[in-house]
Amino acid sequence: MSIIDKLLELQDHDLRIHRIQTELKDVPIRKSRELERLKDHTEAMKKAEDALKERQSVLKQNELEVTSKKEKIAKLRTQQMSLKTNKEFQTMAVEIETIEKSIRRDEDGEIEIMETIEAAKADVAARKKELDAEKALVQEDITVLDERIASLDSELKEEQVIRAKLQQDVEPEWLRRYDVMLKSKRGGAVLVSAEGGVCGGCHMTLPPYQQHGARKRVEMVICSYCGRMLY
């Protein structure tokens, strides 16, 4: 096997390693996007819960006001028994009646508030159902991505082991030059064909001496335009 063939085999595995590493970096981003799908549902759920709490708070405040007014009536009735004149008695009776009317309005209002609470509870239940359904779908997708990570990790380790073995058969100077260029190309091909007298990397027409050297496949020929190794 020629040095070029050895490097091509090495490059094949390096390209696979780069692809795997790129996908591994991309998976967490994909997981974040999946979780983003829950954002709208979570916000809708919170708004529904806040609306329910607000209506429940209004109901509680209304109940406290009714209780306070009833306690006031009870005190007025006690005071009424000790009044000495009929005029004072009638005046207090009017005050009591006014408070009782206010209580009836409050109690009628309670019914309306309770109806809105029931509607708010139904909205919360509906939002929760939607959120739970979306969570289940997202979890399925997250599980698939986690399984993909495990598979990629395993594949990466296998490729790295193969790569370590293959590089032992490559002449040091060729390997050094190859590795330097591999880093500069950031996962792109280092060795490219010079078929048709054109660099397979930058697609520039090569000088005749480079075309000739590349065809021999025994010496290191570097594209004068992009710096890739030619064969």
How distant is the alpha carbon of residue 198 from its chain centre? Answer: 45
pLDDT at 101: 97
> Model confidence over 202-228: pLDDT tens digits?
999 999 999 999 998 888 899 999 999
pLDDT range class, residue 186, cuts 50, 70, 90: confident
% of the chain exceeding 90 in pLDDT: 91
Total domains, the chain: 1
Has residue 2 got a pLDDT over 90?
no
Whether residue 180 is contained in a domain is answered as no
Whether residue 22 is contained in a domain is answered as yes
pLDDT at 149: 96
What is the C-alpha to C-alpha distance for residues 23 and 34, in angstroms, rounded to an integer?
A: 16
How distant is the alpha carbon of residue 79 from its chain centre? Answer: 67
Asked if residues 153 and 24 have their Cβ atoms less than 8 Å apart, the reply is: yes
Whether residue 175 is contained in a domain is answered as no
CATH number where 70 lies: 1.10.287.1490
Whether residue 211 is contained in a domain is answered as no
pTM attached to this predicted model: 0.67
Torsion of CA 48, 51, 52, 55, to 10 degrees: -160
Written as one string, the DSSP assignment of 86-143 is HHHHHHHHHHHHHHHHHHHHHHHHHHHHHHHHHHHHHHHHHHHHHHHHHHHHHHHHHH
Average pLDDT over residues 42-50: 96
Between 156 and 2, name the one with better pLDDT.
Answer: 156
Range of the domain at 165: 3-169
What is the C-alpha to C-alpha distance for residues 45 and 127, in angstroms, rounded to an integer?
A: 5
Average pLDDT, the chain: 94
pLDDT at 185: 81
Question: Which residues, including other chains, have CB under 8 Å from residue 29's CB and lie 6 or more apart?
Answer: none
Whether residue 67 is contained in a domain is answered as yes
> Model confidence over 96-148: pLDDT tens digits?
999 999 999 999 999 999 999 999 999 999 999 999 999 999 999 999 999 99
Whether residue 141 is contained in a domain is answered as yes
% of the chain exceeding 70 in pLDDT: 100
pLDDT at 216: 87
